[in-house]
Amino acid sequence: SPQAAAMAAKRSTDEMRDRVVLGEFGVRNVHTTDFPGNYPGYEDAWDQRRFEEAFRVDVIREEEGALEFDMVGIDAAIANAFRRILLAEVPTMAVEKVFVYNNTSIVQDEILAHRLGLIPIKADPRLFEYRNQGDEEGTEIDTLQFQLKIKCSRNPQAAKESSDPNELYFNHKVYSKHMTWVPLGNQTDLFPDADFRPVHDDILIALLRPGQEIDVLMHCVKGIGKDHAKFSPVATASYRLLPDITLLQPVEDEAAEKLQKCFSPGVIEIENIKGKKVARVANARLDTFSREVFRHEGLKNLVRLARVRNHYIFSVESTGILPPDVLVSEAIKILMGKCQRFLNELDSVPME
């Protein structure tokens, strides 16, 4: 009947608008849909009120250094903007200049400097300014100074037959905990309760033997991941679309158990209904979409794999310099700043 046909057409259009469908040999409906006139009968022009009603953020899991949250109702371009800003544009402090006064270890100066640069420094970048280009000398508002001075020596009390370096030598392992903050100018007054140090104490920098020593001074400056990866505040920042798994018809007994094995643990549950084992989707979110189900001739037409187009699951893992929730809010501020700059440009350019 025409009515049923119209319903079916609406359903398939809904699917195209709201789902990215995973087939056996490819992905359907990947294009962006948020522009008017894309689908007949849908008013897809952007509307602030409608956006505000549909948009939400749910924090799923918050641990020390890791955050998982859902952002629902945005377009891929916005999701990707947040990801890229987190990776490359949220500033941090990192070692930029290393002054080597003495280095008789077997680690070459430039390798040592590179290793020191990659150590995350626990210092809130919001307290500092960017250093001006061409400034050789750092000042208290834009530079943190650290010293690393350590010398290895023999342990006279060590047993004669011992071959364990930990027993034979003192200071033979140089760790990030040996870096000490040297206040510049009036920094002791500026940051009375500051505890500037490496995020982790146990990062191994070099190995020494008796008589070898390292004596360096480091300048940390504020920078962004775009300029060098050492300034990136996140270990990983990624997002994925929410999985959506639909069983197209009942799957029972042996097929149900086979189906359960095709998905990540916890995705498919088997219930006992009237003596029959029946499969149901318990938690699609846990699935990684290995598409294993498509390898089984008897199962592949019983399931529809899709992802919800506007539901992004973000996971942000911080390097420990700032907590991940702060990083996300900083990223949002940076994006707001970019938008504001763009609007100001539009206002200031005289129209032809």
- So where are the chain's domains? 17-90+233-248+302-340, 92-232
Count H helices, E strands: the chain? 8, 18
pLDDT on residue 29: 80
pTM here?
Answer: 0.87
pLDDT per residue as tens digits for the range 97-138: 999 999 999 999 999 999 999 999 999 999 999 999 888 888
| CATH number for the domain whose boundaries are 92-232 | 2.170.120.12
pLDDT on residue 14: 79
pLDDT on residue 34: 64
CA pair distance 166, 155, nearest whole angstrom: 9
pLDDT on residue 165: 92
What six digits make up the tokens of 351?
């129209």
Residues of the chain short of pLDDT 70, as ranges, are 33-35, 351-352
Contact 184, 138 (CB under 8 A): yes
Pairing of strands 66-72, 153-154: unpaired
CA pair distance 70, 197, nearest whole angstrom: 33
Class of domain 17-90+233-248+302-340: alpha beta
